[in-house]
Amino acid sequence: MRQISQQGLCNNYCIVVTHSTGDLVTRHLLENQARWLQSEGLQPLKILAVMDLAGAGGGTELANLAVSIAYNDSWYNWPVKQAVRAFTGIDPQPYNLGVVNDLQTNTARNLSTGPTATPRLRFVGGGSSYGGITKPFIAGTDDGVVPTHSACGATTASGIDSCSNSISLGGQVTGQNGPSGLYYNHYPILMSEGANHSAVKDTQTGNIAVPVVNNTVLNGLQVDFASRTYNQRAWWQLWGSGSQYVEVPGSNQTSMSNLLYTTFNN
């Protein structure tokens, strides 16, 4: 923070891009950075917006499991331990959990919870990670690591299926078990049913992106992803127009991260 302020990199505003735990770290930063920097005689950073990819600001049930397993090494917990190892990359012990402690759902949701004027733009996946072994332990839909309730910015840790009450992660326009509420200034922008926790940020292609909050301006930032609505019948439907879907056309030909860059860089 000191170096960024001293170099004036945010004098004309900057955008913070986060992935996973970076969502929670940045929430703490937004709440405190002005005070931190001013105490050292430095200018606070001018942050226009934050783009949270697979954000874990609401915690993940895998962290709950990791802490539980760290204090219970019974043999019958072997399947759970394998899921936790996949998520953390460590053999969970009380002394080596580190930031995993902060990612417990109740803990994460009580860290730096003050409202911020900086909009948080959310980009959410629903694919599978680690061969799917983590999914049974996460509430609602998830990207293999982070639950949808966390990635969307939902105000509660209840399991949900989508960031929208009317659009599925796959883009079908139909009633959904969506969030009952979102944190202040949090906006689900894109969802992708096929993108897993890493694919949301890396160069993987082949995943359709679904717009949720679109064609709007957030703190001066234009959110204007291309979109199209179409009808599609299932193979077993012999009549009718089928179900309605919405998508970002051509999004399966590029990665989500490249889609964000090309759209916001125009």
| Confidence at residue 234, expressed as pLDDT on a 0 to 100 scale | 80
Contact yes or no for 254/263 (Cβ under 8 A): no
What 3-state class would DSSP assign to 136?
A: helix
* pLDDT the model gives residue 239: 77
Global pTM value: 0.93
Specify the pLDDT at position 209: 98
Name which of 216, 183, 250 is nearest 30 in CA terms. 183
Per-range mean pLDDT, top range of 87-101, 200-214, 228-242: 200-214
Residue written as token pair 């226009």: 48
Which of 72, 111, 109, 158 lies closest to 149, judged by CA?
158
Provide DSSP, 62-127. HHHHHHHHHT---GGGHHHHHHHHHHHSS---TTS-GGGGTTSHHHHTTSS----SS-EEEEEE--
pLDDT higher than threshold 80 for residue 115: yes
Judged by average pLDDT, the poorest of 53-67, 90-104, 117-131, 231-245 is: 231-245
Rounded Cα distance between 83 and 2, Å, is 38
pLDDT score of 76: 66
pLDDT at 13 over 70: yes
Other Cβ atoms within 10 Å of 231 Cβ, number: 11
Q: Which residues are CB-contacts of 84 (< 8 A; sequence separation ≥ 6)?
A: 62, 65, 66, 69, 92
Give 33-57 pLDDT, tens digit per residue: 999 999 999 999 999 999 999 999 9
pLDDT over 90 at 118, yes or no: yes
Q: What is the mean pLDDT of residues 136-155?
A: 95
* pLDDT for the residue 75: 63
> What phi, psi does 244 have (nearest 5°)?
-90, 140
Min mean pLDDT across 125-129, 133-137, 253-257 is at 133-137
Nearest CA-CA partner of 122 in 236, 258, 18:
18
Judge residue 78's burial from the number of C-beta atoms within 10 Å of its C-beta, 0-12 exposed, 13-18 middle, 19 or more buried: exposed
Alpha helices in the chain (DSSP H): 2-6, 22-38, 61-70, 78-88, 105-108, 148-152, 256-264
The whole-angstrom separation of Cα 186 and Cα 173 is 22
